[in-house]
Copies of this chain bind each other. A is one copy, B any other.
Amino acid sequence: MFETDLTRRLNIRYPIIQAPMAGGPATTKLIAEVSNAGGLGSLGAAYLTPEILRSTIQEIRQLTEQPFGVNLFVPVETTESQATIEKMTTCLNKYRIELGIKENPPIENVSESFEEQVQVLLEEKVPVFSFTFGIPSKDVIQAMKKQGTIVIGTATIVEEAKQLELAGVDAIVAQGSEAGGHRGTFLGNTTDSLIGTMALVPQIVDQVSIPVIASGGIMDGRGLVASLALGASAVQMGTAFLACIESGAHNVYKKTILSANEDSTVVTRAYSGRAARGIQTKFTKEIDQYPGVIPVFPIQNAMTRDIRKAAAKANNPEYMSLWAGQGLRLATDHSAGTIIQQTMYQSHILLEKMIKVSD
């Protein structure tokens, strides 16, 4: 059903990719459930050490024999001034006091080694490697492709898609402005490059010759059929799975998702230093008004980690990063398998209805 160039290539039954969602939601259970249901489960592995990355991949393989993907963040060289870091530390101490955790903690585990993560993916011969925030070296892309791993990049504007195609990727995720989580932007301006999915997908499809995966605001069969109509070969859905049974999102996070509206999100640099869409919280409101400079990603991400962890422990959503897209009213707490089945069923019924009125 809805076999496309890409589903054949990925060897999956349905054109549905579960968004990688680094940092918790994408459990091995969720990934395996999606892959077993005919979609492509994806591990958001950016924050995993090489050791945990390897064991997680092995865990997925115990839960499913179907293909799955692993997503990494392409590193961007960054430095931040000591003054900027010190000022932000002072600002963040306010939250630490409120949460009862230690002030002025050392900044640890700023980022994992991309090279070591890539090495694990090569050794484990993962079926699909996807990435965001840039383009890995030609060597990495070629090594992946040589061993049969399908390589998927992420674009938020047409120029990024063109560069990804030139670099040799097999498919491109077109990340529309509706999408939750980090913006993948690496050539455009991260705030100006908020192109809606409806506009972005056909413009990318027209400019590249490889399959395009629509992402951003796609929550059900309506979004799937709409995306295929726009020329996409598959969809990537994140928010649709955030509150599902197998999602590893914190209970408070899930509850917030299920009661949130289409206009509950903002694009913020507050939590990580990089533009990302999530539910507006006390933390985003306050830090988005911060008079100084917010440290760049991944420094700000490392600096807020203790706060986010303590907030999660205290069941306090106001200081947690609640990444989510704009399709929020359509999120459900079903199982991932049910979400996929319902999406496919709805798509089928919908197309039949549409063909009837088309004459």
Contacts and interface: CB of A to CB of B under 8 A. Distances in A.
B216 A225 contact: no
A107 B120 CA distance: 67
A176 interface: yes
A326 B196 contact: yes
Interface in A331-359: 347-348, 350-352, 354-355, 357-359
B225 A198 contact: no
B197 A1 contact: no
Interface residues of A, number: 58
A64 interface: no
Interface string A320-331: 000001110110
B263 A202 contact: no
A203 B4 contact: no
B197 A194 contact: no
Contacts of A226: 198, 225-227, 229-230
A325 to B, nearest CB: 7
Interface string A247-271: 0000000000000011100100000
B195 A198 contact: no
Interface in A198-227: 198-200, 202-203, 206-207, 216-220, 222-223, 225-227
Contact of A230 (B206, B222, B228): B222
Q: How many copies does the complex hold?
A: 2
Q: Is the interface of A mostly helix, strand, loop or mixed?
A: loop
Interface in A140-187: 157-159, 176-178
Contacts of A86: none
Contacts of A229: 222, 225-226, 229, 350-351, 354
B218 A3 contact: no
Nearest to A344: B358
Given A1-B358, A158-B329, A351-B358, A263 B219 contact: no
Contacts of A176: 196, 198
Contact of A357 (B3, B206, B330): B3
A193 interface: yes
Nearest to A200: B262
Contact of A348 (B207, B266, B330, B358): B358
Contacts of A24: none
A157 B220 CA distance: 19
A2 interface: yes
Most buried by B among A1, A206, A222, A330: A222
Contacts of A358: 1-2, 347-348, 351
27 contacts: A1-B358, A3-B357, A158-B261, A159-B261, A177-B177, A178-B196, A178-B199, A193-B263, A194-B194, A195-B262, A195-B326, A196-B217, A196-B326, A198-B216, A198-B218, A198-B226, A199-B219, A199-B262, A199-B325, A199-B326, A202-B219, A202-B330, A203-B327, A206-B329, A222-B231, A228-B354, A351-B358
